[in-house]
Amino acid sequence: MAEGLPIAIYSANSRFMSRASDTAYEKIRSFILYGEARPGMQLTEERLCEIAGVSRTPVRDAVQRLENEMLVVRSASKRLSVADWSDDEIDEMFALRAMLECHAAERAARRMDENGLDRLRKVNGDLTRAVQLATPDITGFLEANRQFHDLILEYAQSPRLSKLLPALVEQPVVRRTANQYSGDDLIQSAKDHDELIAAFAAGDKDWAGAVMTSHIRRAFHSFHLATRGSETP
Amino acid sequence: MAEGLPIAIYSANSRFMSRASDTAYEKIRSFILYGEARPGMQLTEERLCEIAGVSRTPVRDAVQRLENEMLVVRSASKRLSVADWSDDEIDEMFALRAMLECHAAERAARRMDENGLDRLRKVNGDLTRAVQLATPDITGFLEANRQFHDLILEYAQSPRLSKLLPALVEQPVVRRTANQYSGDDLIQSAKDHDELIAAFAAGDKDWAGAVMTSHIRRAFHSFHLATRGSETP
DNA sequence: CGGACGATAATTGTATGCAATATATGAAGG
DNA sequence: CCTTCATATATTGCATACAATTATCGTCCG
């Protein structure tokens, strides 16, 4: 049922997901993002229990988390359904994400150290190799990309940001964007990361913020072009 | 135990709070914000049950919500305690809030209508009357202020923002700031709101965003001055 | 034929008991 | 006196039964 795609998004709370509520969270999330769930589809707690293989208590726990990420929505009468994002809501996600990632990059620029730079370089090395293949390794790109942004969030040292940002980075959107990328687009991403590293090395927060903003907004326009053609946002 | 201070913050999810989990949320929240809770103090679910007067199930529900607002934190071993915000975290709250409220104002400016303007004018009329008294009515100011910002959030028409912003507007911080305001500061707030209304009426999103940003940042500096003296942030 | 009403079924909300896990206590050994 | 390990205690996690709420559907009446 649930595929083995990279599930975790920005955020260090992967843990060992031993807890039933954690497995419920992962399984339901996969069901929604990569499974047979469809936007607007109704979900009952009992059905989710079957999917997750646990009882209602951990399922309710997981659902509340998913509600916060707005992957599921609750009607006035407390019934659950799979979220159905409007174009405006997706645009809004990119806009908010651009603001917050810019802010994260600015903070990280002030707090970066040699060890952090080394780790960023190593991760972006992996990313660069993945995109320079004759047929780019999208999964490898996504994983390295996630690690890169996670690392920046780590150096931003802001618990608030670490809580807010992950909910704005929905992997399916990232994935659809990445699949639409041309080889050149992917290589440009790697170059953006190189420039970010340079900005961090220089301790220039405005530079870092600006690069990050354009990095996200380019992704936004790729997504826009791929999913909605050439209407101007 | 829990005082009768205004509890709800920006957000339309006040409902009728009939559910046990809702009353648990309110009671625990009041205990933390206005009660005898102290930063860092450990909280057990059982203790919270006594405070809320309900069983552990709704308490756990409420705790998860409070965890999202970062009013309570969970240790590595899953134990709960009252959050203890550092100066940096509070500064960060103001910074993020300024960005998001600016964004909300920009969106609202594009979507404002005559009815919304009327409602804003009415609420700011209440606010103005409250602050022009010989001894300003702080509670009245806070309530009208909350309504004013709620209304903007309503007109921003962004479910994401409506979910993210409330967690950044903790009433105790607002309250401490307001108590430090001089009469002139309070009147300046009312004037900011007037200017916001003018920007909305003109449909000028950049104007609205700029006024909102300076509005929040002024509050930030008042708070800073009141709580940490004159060190520059 | 359509709409209000009431009985029934489906769904979510709450309490509670037990299981799993983490912490505290204290005795034994170095 | 300090450390180590085993046992006891405290705390959280999970499953389940039952209560409360909401939707569904058929019936009656206009």
Question: What does the pLDDT read at residue B99?
Answer: 98
Residue A214 half-sphere exposure, CB side, CA atoms within 13 Å?
12
How many angstroms is C1' of C10 away from CA of A44?
10
pLDDT in tens, B73-118: 999 999 999 999 999 999 999 999 999 999 999 999 999 999 999 9
Tell whether the model's pLDDT for residue A1 goes beyond 60. Answer: no
Tell whether the model's pLDDT for residue B206 goes beyond 90. Answer: yes
Q: Which residue has the higher pLDDT, A35 or B18?
A: A35
Q: Which residue has the higher pLDDT, B14 or B174?
A: B174
* Contact call for residues B10 and B165 (beta carbons, < 8 A): yes
pLDDT in tens, A204-214: 999 999 999 99
B90 interfaces chain A, CB cutoff of 8 Å: no
Instruction: Using pLDDT thresholds of 50, 70 and 90, give the confidence band for residue B218.
Output: very high
Of B89, B95, B161, the CB nearest to A159: B89
pLDDT over 90 percentage in chain A:
75
Q: Domains (ranges, CATH) in chain A?
A: 20-82 (1.10.10.10), 87-228 (1.20.120.530)
Tell whether the model's pLDDT for residue B15 goes beyond 50. Answer: no
Strand C at less than 7 A from CB of B42: no
CA distance A165 to A97: 7
CA distance B149 to A36: 40
Instruction: Using pLDDT thresholds of 50, 70 and 90, give the confidence band for residue B231.
Output: low
Q: In 3D, which of B160, B119, B163, B118 has the Cα closest to residue B12?
A: B163
Tell whether the model's pLDDT for residue A199 goes beyond 80. Answer: yes
pLDDT over 70 percentage in chain B:
88
B103–A103: do the CB atoms touch at under 8 Å? no
Q: Which residue has the higher pLDDT, B107 or A170?
A: B107
* Contact call for residues A143 and A175 (beta carbons, < 8 A): no
Q: Which residue has the higher pLDDT, A224 or B66?
A: B66
pLDDT in tens, B36-53: 999 999 999 999 999 999
B160 interfaces chain A, CB cutoff of 8 Å: yes
Tell whether the model's pLDDT for residue A127 goes beyond 50. Answer: yes
Question: What does the pLDDT read at residue A172?
Answer: 67
Tell whether the model's pLDDT for residue A11 goes beyond 90. Answer: no
Residues composing chain A = 233
Q: What is the DSSP string of B45-83?
A: HHHHHHHHTS-HHHHHHHHHHHHHTTSEEE-TTS-EEE-
Question: What does the pLDDT read at residue A224?
Answer: 84
Cβ-Cβ pairs closer than 8 A, A with B, add up to 52
pLDDT in tens, B150-185: 999 999 999 999 999 999 997 767 667 777 777 888
Strand D at less than 7 A from CB of A163: no
Point out the least confidently predicted range of B4-8, B94-98, B227-231. Answer: B4-8
Question: What does the pLDDT read at residue A144?
Answer: 97
Residues near B216 by Cβ (< 8 Å), separated by ≥ 6? Answer: B94, B97, B98, B101, B102
Q: What is the mean pLDDT of residues A27-54?
A: 95
Strand C at less than 7 A from CB of B136: no
Tell whether the model's pLDDT for residue B57 goes beyond 70. Answer: yes
Most confident of A5-9, A225-229, B197-201: B197-201
pLDDT over 90 percentage in chain B:
75
Residues in chain A within 8 Å Cβ distance of B100: 96, 99
CA distance A51 to A59: 10
* Contact call for residues A32 and A38 (beta carbons, < 8 A): no
A103 interfaces chain B, CB cutoff of 8 Å: yes
Tell me the residue type at B150. Answer: D
Give the full edge-to-edge strand order of the sheet including B72-74.
Answer: B42-43, B80-82, B72-74
B103–A100: do the CB atoms touch at under 8 Å? no
Tell whether the model's pLDDT for residue B230 goes beyond 80. Answer: no
Q: Which residue has the higher pLDDT, A222 or A107?
A: A107
